[in-house]
Chains A and B, each alone.
Chain A
Amino acid sequence: MAQVIAEGVCVDFPLYHGSARSLKRTVVAAASGGRISKDAQKRIVVQGLRDVSFTLSPGERLGLIGSNGAGKTTLLRTLAGIYEPVRGCVRIEGTLNALLDPNLGMNPDLTGRENIALRGLFAGLDRASIRRVEEDVITFAGLSEFIHLPLRTYSSGMIVRLGFALATAIHPEILLMDEWFLAGDAQFIGKAQARLELLVRNAEILVLSSHEHKVIKEWCTRALWLDRGRVMKEGAPEEVIAAYLDSIEEQRAEWKKEEDREKGDEKRPAPVAERVS
């Protein structure tokens, strides 16, 4: 039975920029007790996730909401096992497919067919399964003759179709999905939606990150609101989304107030200090 457990997960991103990336400076700094090049020791750490905990059982569909940079993609990558937590624990039971990068491992010099085979190998499929995926993808993406040509001859729409068809060809028990999946060209989207819905239906657990609150309300049984890596609220999608929207309103109102105050300050004559003295 599939299960996803996150226990107090923390993820930090060390920002190695400039001098922290340099061995010479690190050595000099160490040899001089940090006097010569202090900045090599100063490792700026960006907090990606802070103490995130939840458990997902079969049938649960979790929607992640929050502004850009709130940690949604980081959480998906952590659940996919790409980033290993700095504190806490992630436990995944069941087969997993993470739809994070539409062009995963695609090589523009290879033909469509070769790219399909390559992706099949990435997923650990055997020859027979790869052939099945190949048929499925070719039918769905409607590439017909182009499947024998290198990817660099494709239009951008064709590449999107191929990437989407490939990513959704393998049905996992646990599906992680980033928001780009819901974008696509209009002609393609109806067809894509049906395929995506089937994929979601077949998955026991779904974790979806999206800005489209409508999609979260429709597809998810739970929602998680992230802000700067922290869980702000977790619960039924309607409630969490309402709380999130409220906070945005509040923030806007605050900004407005601040703006007004600043404007007001400008209009009002500066408090005269002399009067007091």
Chain B
Amino acid sequence: MSDFTLERSAAPAGHEADLRRQESARRVLELRAGLGFRGRHRLAVTDLVETAGLWRLALALAWLDVKGRYRGSMLGPFWLTLSTAVMVGSLGVLYSTLFKTVLREYLPFLALSLVLWNFLQTLVSEACLAFTQNDSIIRAVRMPFLLYGARLVIRNLIVLAHNIVVIFVVFAIFDTWPGRYGLIAIPGFMLWVVDSLALAMSLGAICARFRDIPPIVNSVMQIAFFLSPIIWRPDLITHGARFLPLNPLFSLFEVVRGPLLNQVPGETIWAAALGYSFLILLLSWLLFVRVRGRIAFWV
């Protein structure tokens, strides 16, 4: 019992000084009520910078989320891969018959679409809980709020990485590997990552304030699934194809899916994807600047 006290009082002074230095990232914290837009904006930027500094924590939390969810199951997150594979296989055979297309052309398209859609759908439904799920942490310690958004996005990216196996298998079976144009999908996917974070933050805040939003969000997502070219190919639309870019999901899917299917997206698609992303980012940033200080009261 007493050995502890001895040990502690004999601890070198450098130990505490060291720990202090570690924490000195936020030495002055001033929270003033009634700030205008600029003051709030500054606090929101600080939130962003602090989150970037805590990337290891976001990564660890996301990884632990995935590990925790599949602890004790034999295949772990590969269960999801398996279920995606079964879904792609069965839907692929069914719809290629219904749409009268060749399986070799349809299946790679469907695999990409469904994997991306699974990512989006899980992300959106979990985004509604981005803050409410972390309520005990939010009430116990001041942490940047973007951390919770980052945790959510990274967690879903990890799951997505497991699902990519399905796409690879389909590519391998039909030998439809993307050429060097496939690399264009990388900037497209970057858009997805940034948009996901924006979506997670705004949905998280809105759903923390209004608790009846999640069911609305889920039904909107279900409608969007059927209205967007996800299981049906966009070139099936003969009349009014020029209205397709009005659907944000169309352009955002195309910038990732197109290059991997050796169809480089045109300028209109890129412009639409960038435009919608800019809009999502702008709106959610404005919302974040506005409500950041209130989230702790809402959860």
Do A and B come from the same complex?
yes
A residues neighboring B (CB under 8 Å): 10, 13-14, 16, 21-24, 26, 77, 80-98, 100-101, 103-105, 107, 109-110, 114, 117-118, 121-126, 129, 132-133, 139-140, 170-173, 190-191, 194-195, 198, 202
| Cβ B68 vs Cβ A173 within 8 A | no
CB pairs A–B below 8 angstroms (13 shown) = A80-B141, A83-B296, A84-B293, A84-B294, A89-B33, A92-B28, A95-B24, A95-B27, A117-B60, A123-B22, A191-B5, A194-B8, A198-B8
| Cβ B18 vs Cβ A129 within 8 A | yes
Any A CB within 8 A of the CB of B235: no
Q: How far is the CA of A173 from the CA of B22 in the complex (A)?
A: 12
Residues of B contacting A121 in the complex (Cβ-Cβ under 8 angstroms):
54, 56-57, 60
Any A CB within 8 A of the CB of B100: no
Interface SS of B by simple majority: helix
Q: How far is the CA of A164 from the CA of B202 in the complex (A)?
A: 35
**CB-based nearest B residue for A126:** B22
Residues of A contacting B4 in the complex (Cβ-Cβ under 8 angstroms):
139-140, 191, 194-195
Q: How far is the CA of A191 from the CA of B23 in the complex (A)?
A: 26
Residues of A contacting B293 in the complex (Cβ-Cβ under 8 angstroms):
84
Residues of B contacting A23 in the complex (Cβ-Cβ under 8 angstroms):
210, 212-213, 216
Q: How far is the CA of A97 from the CA of B294 in the complex (A)?
A: 22
Interface SS of A by simple majority: mixed
Residues of A contacting B28 in the complex (Cβ-Cβ under 8 angstroms):
91-93
B residues neighboring A (CB under 8 Å): 1, 4-5, 7-9, 15-16, 18-20, 22-25, 27-34, 53-54, 56-57, 60-61, 64, 68, 71, 136-143, 209-213, 216, 293-294, 296-298
Q: How far is the CA of A123 from the CA of B19 in the complex (A)?
A: 10
Residues of B contacting A98 in the complex (Cβ-Cβ under 8 angstroms):
140-142
| Cβ B64 vs Cβ A95 within 8 A | no
| Cβ A95 vs Cβ B56 within 8 A | no
Q: How far is the CA of A14 from the CA of B293 in the complex (A)?
A: 13
Residues of A contacting B142 in the complex (Cβ-Cβ under 8 angstroms):
80-82, 98
**CB-based nearest B residue for A78:** B31
| Cβ A171 vs Cβ B16 within 8 A | yes
Q: How far is the CA of A83 from the CA of B140 in the complex (A)?
A: 10
The one of A21, A88, A95, A118 in contact with B60, judged by C-beta atoms closer than 8 angstroms, is A118
| Cβ B64 vs Cβ A107 within 8 A | yes
- Give chain A nearest CB distance to B183 CB in angstroms: 34
